Amino acid sequence: MIVSELILPVLLVTFVLVLGAYLVAVLDEAIAGALGMPRATSVWTAPLTQGAWLLTQQANATEAPDWRAWRLAPALYLALAAIGLAVVPFSPTLIPTDLVTSVVLWGSVEALATVVIFLHGWSANTLLALIGAYRYVALGLSYILISMFVLIGVALPAESLQFSQVVASQEGLWNVIRQPLGLPLFLIVGLGMTFWGPLNLADSRDLAGGTASAVSGPPRLVWNLARAAMLVAFSGAAASAFLGGWLGPWLPGPVWMLLKMLAVLAVLLLIGRLVPRVQPERCVTLMWVVFLPLSFVDLIWAGVEALL
């Protein structure tokens, strides 16, 4: 009982997070190479080289940082990614933690991510990091509602706030077809949570790296790792909420799940390399006036569809 309910879930989450974060780096490198950007000699070893270099590099410090918060923020972000992945079901029986309220827990991970990212920028006591942090809060408070409405939309036909029930409710037809607005809106949330590509307002180049501008060495390694891990956790949530999770013919459930997660990651990384960064000043209006009403439409669509 201890093995199946405690050790196996912990090992599963750790394994998928670490392997997933590595694959995110490999995929991103491969996409960059395919798009004609300068590439490493081998996409498979480049993330490892980069990691080893950060691990041995000297860690930077600022004059008067909030030390505890500065070291804690990357670790907490990693922990949030682990919580997010822990509620994702890999098959009807293989679920790290099958909480009855896992959709609510996922929502709280999104909310706390905003807090942790702000903490990372605030604690360095550097202007550019602080601007990145404040910018991120504006984005974080804007995308979180979109995510909530979209996730409530998938909970309606399932009559449950449990991810495993949400997957089971897609037996006949996946939510990506049943609620066509859901997945595109949720992908925006994913880019926001990990401040990736077009929504990279926290660590953007125009702020010389934003919240991570004064971070180097091992803390930078943990921060990059946590970001990639959060992307993996998000792909798990997206795959089970919209792409039918473990459902699929011929192959066993967990394999389907991993394939769908990889597909979501590939789409996100491609968007990250192809779409330019949105202006922070316009981002809030865009989220509240365009995407939030679209998520209302998605919810009403999902509601009517569930009753038909």
Partner 1 sequence: MELLTLFFIVLIAAGLGLLIQWLPMRHQPMPTYPQRAPFLGGGLPETHAWNRYHVRYYPMTLLLIAFEMEMMFMYPWAVVFVEQGMKAVMEMGMFLAILSVGIVYGWREGVFKWQ
Residue of the chain from 30, 69, 75, 112 that contacts partner 1 (CB under 8 A): 75
Query: For residues 59 and 275, which CB has a smaller minimum distance to partner 1 in the complex?
Result: 59
Q: Which two tokens stand for residue 138?
A: 């504006």
**Structure tokens, 21:** 């974060």
Q: Which two tokens stand for residue 265?
A: 């990651």
104 is a site residue for partner 1 (CB under 8 A) = yes
Contacts (CB under 8 A) with partner 1, residues 231-270: none
**Binding of partner 1 by 91 (CB under 8 A):** no
81 binds partner 1, rule: CB under 8 A: yes
Assigned token pair, 147 = 């995510």
Q: Is the CB of residue 117 less than 8 Å from the CB of residue 202?
A: yes
24 near partner 1, judged by CB under 8 A: no
Amino acid at 43: V
Considering the rule CB under 8 A, would residue 19 count as an interface residue with partner 1?
Answer: no
Q: Does 294 bind partner 1 (CB under 8 A)?
A: no
Of 20-28, 140-148, 173-181, 234-242: span binding partner 1 (CB under 8 A): 140-148
Site pattern 187..226 for partner 1 (x: CB under 8 A): ---------------------x----xx--xxx-xx--xx
Residues 6+ apart with CB under 8 A from 260: 235, 239, 243, 244, 245
Residues between 154 and 173 that touch partner 1 (CB under 8 A): 155-157, 159-161
Contacts of 72 (CB under 8 A, 6+ apart): 119
Report, in angstroms and rounded to the nearest whole number, the Rg of the chain calculated over CA atoms.
Answer: 19
Is there binding between residue 306 and partner 1 (CB under 8 A)? yes
* Closest listed residue to residue 117, CA positions, set 163, 76, 62: 76
Closer CB to partner 1, 142 or 235, in the complex: 142
Q: To the nearest whole angstrom, how small is the minimum distance from the Cβ of residue 33 to partner 1? A: 28
Can you read off the two tokens belonging to residue 43? 């996409």
**Three-state DSSP class for residue 137:** helix
Tell whether residue 76 is a contact of partner 1 (CB under 8 A): yes
Residue 288 makes contact with partner 1 by CB under 8 A: yes
